[in-house]
Chains A and B, each alone.
Chain A
């Protein structure tokens, strides 16, 4: 109806303007409560729930999702604070976890295939000390160290390439080609070369981070608006000034793009590298050993830790990017 008559759609929105749509909130609440009730009811049971229950759980999930989508639509159309705007995302997470918990329990899916979210959280807590040690190994010693080495070497190399026509012609095609080497192909080679400890994984990370940084920074230094160079020349700027005031700022957004890409590559490289041998610690080691023993609760706990770190690291680089390139077109309000 609303699509046929725009004025009706308008009144509909206005009518809802008084407060959140009651039906949506009701559906959301009822769906969640039913799922929660079932989880508590089935907490200690180990038999498959009846077909009626399973149907009810699917229905509850759908109803809650429907309510959530209506509520999210309403929030999007109304001025609201940051906390309110965050609600749809938070409820999506809660609903997904609750529905997974209820359905996995209803069907009695073996923990050796998929553990329930609460089982994962319990193990995350129980294994926190070990996971922290694993994190130190994988994140700090392998991913961050390798990342810093890769970036640290890539920057001077990029400057050299940007200054040398020969290197641009002779090396850039290879840099671009190397940047697409799949990491699992490198890992076993590096494990043989540098041993089983963190050094081999840091080397994998350094190599995978190195090439995207070179490719991007060189582009950033060279792909500069010629009018900018003309302007600098008209100010009688010398080479150093042109470099510092025009080329470097121009390269910064490219550089940060490569860094953001690099954080993801570094986490992948460190974790996958550990699959080819490890010294008894590391998130990749933990995931491999526990997946082999069907300890998927710990596998998921390790995945949560790795994901949280990966997101935080990406966020940190994105924050630095906003601080240092706030003037850039893509970040201007």
Chain B
């Protein structure tokens, strides 16, 4: 009896092993590094995964959260295949010799805002000499750095300036830690921290909210990237598909997910965002409720997604003019020292995914 038991158990284990292998064999397992913890900012990817859009493309995509770190670090190390990040993070990494490649632009407009209390006396955004400004580290500080430089101010983020005009205070992403006691001006994403600050008891009529995009600092945000090594692999992970083909499939499914997400925002938050996020979805204070906060976020995210090329039917397309504007801004503010090489952007996967070219998006 016992021996039989063991044999049947062993057989079951072997069969189960085959099944796992067979499943893995059907879909190519890849991973996408999100730029932060799960929240509506990544709604399109959650939808694509849950609705099976990735599976339809033959992909088994793992969506990875990240904390206080640049997604570029995990992708460049080879631990993760694709990632989402912001343009300044990508271009500065490229300048430092990391072979990262932009393959799709998901958000067509920057959601980076600067917030001050009306009572702070900051009338003009450049009025911040001698003030403290809250910023996030890990490559999220570049829009603020661009602002300081544009205003002709030095900051404590520059390791070569001993007596900076602006004190940049780093804080772990919760504005309640620093605002308004420690800093006069604070970085805030329009889809996240602005609502948290309102939740802390500072209604919009008590606040000045500057969208950096309106101040001439429209540094593109959430984009999809990978490395040259992934793109140029002729047989990615033994799947028979090239790295470019895998990238195209990932984009096709993701764009489909994004289209669904912005079309039904409330349903997306309830069915696809809230189930995958825990505490990280909550707002602050009176607006702590996760659902309310994520609905705000989804609404604002939809605006960023649907701007620019998306409005002309080219979601995911990196408009050359917008790209050049971001590059020029980073060059002007000396965040980049030279223009990035042409290989920094690869339209191939996006064209393959959508069947369109740049000419269709004018």
Query: Which A residues fall within an 8 A CB radius of B?
Result: 108-113, 123, 126-127, 129-133, 188, 191-192, 195-196, 275-281, 285-286, 288-290, 292-295, 298
Contacts and interface: CB of A to CB of B under 8 A. Distances in A.
A280 B162 contact: no
A191 B172 contact: yes
Contacts of B69: 292
Interface in B61-111: 68-70, 72, 76, 92-93, 95-98
Q: Can you list the 7 inter-chain pairs with the closest CB atoms, starting with the nearest?
A: A110-B97, A112-B96, A129-B162, A280-B156, A292-B138, A294-B96, A280-B167
Interface string B126-139: 00000010000111
Given A130-B160, A192-B177, A289-B141, A113 B97 contact: yes
Nearest to A46: B97
Nearest to A127: B159
A292 B182 contact: no
A109 B70 CA distance: 20
B162 A277 contact: no
B243 to A, nearest CB: 20
Given A112-B96, A277-B177, A294-B98, A196 B159 contact: no
Contact of A298 (B159, B161, B182): B159
B132 A112 contact: no
12 contacts: A111-B97, A112-B98, A127-B159, A275-B68, A278-B169, A279-B132, A280-B170, A288-B68, A288-B137, A292-B69, A292-B138, A295-B159
A309 to B, nearest CB: 18
B159 A288 contact: no
Given A110-B97, A196-B178, A196-B182, A293 B171 contact: no
A227 B204 CA distance: 77
B241 to A, nearest CB: 28
Contacts of A278: 169-170
Interface in B6-57: none
B153 interface: no
A109 B167 CA distance: 34
Contact of A130 (B97, B159, B182): B159
Interface in B164-199: 164, 167-172, 177-178, 182
Interface of B: 68-70, 72, 76, 92-93, 95-98, 132, 137-141, 155-162, 164, 167-172, 177-178, 182
Contact of B169 (A188, A196, A275, A288): A196
B137 A292 contact: yes
B178 A112 contact: no
B120 to A, nearest CB: 18
A191 B159 contact: no
A192 B176 CA distance: 10
Contacts of B160: 126-127, 130
A111 to B, nearest CB: 6
A286 B159 contact: yes
B169 A112 contact: no
B96 A133 contact: no
B170 A277 contact: yes
Given A108-B97, A289-B170, A294-B98, 16 more contacts: A110-B96, A110-B97, A112-B98, A113-B98, A130-B162, A131-B159, A196-B170, A278-B170, A279-B182, A280-B156, A280-B170, A288-B138, A289-B137, A289-B141, A292-B140, A295-B159
Contacts of B157: 280, 289
Which of A123, A188, A294 has the largest number of chain B CB atoms within 10 A? A294
A191 B177 contact: yes
A133 B162 contact: yes
Contacts of B70: 292
Contact of A277 (B141, B164, B171): B171
Contacts of B141: 289, 292-293
Contacts of B139: 292-293
Contacts of A131: 159
A132 B168 CA distance: 17
Nearest to A295: B159
Contacts of A196: 169-171, 177-178, 182
A295 B70 CA distance: 13
B92 A293 contact: yes
Contacts of B161: 130
A133 B98 CA distance: 30
Contacts of A293: 92, 139, 141
A126 B159 CA distance: 9
Contacts of B172: 188, 191, 276-277
B98 to A, nearest CB: 5
A127 B76 CA distance: 28
Contacts of A286: 159
A294 B76 CA distance: 12
A280 B182 CA distance: 12
A177 B22 CA distance: 49
Q: Which of B132, B140, B168, B170 has the most CB of A within 10 A?
A: B170
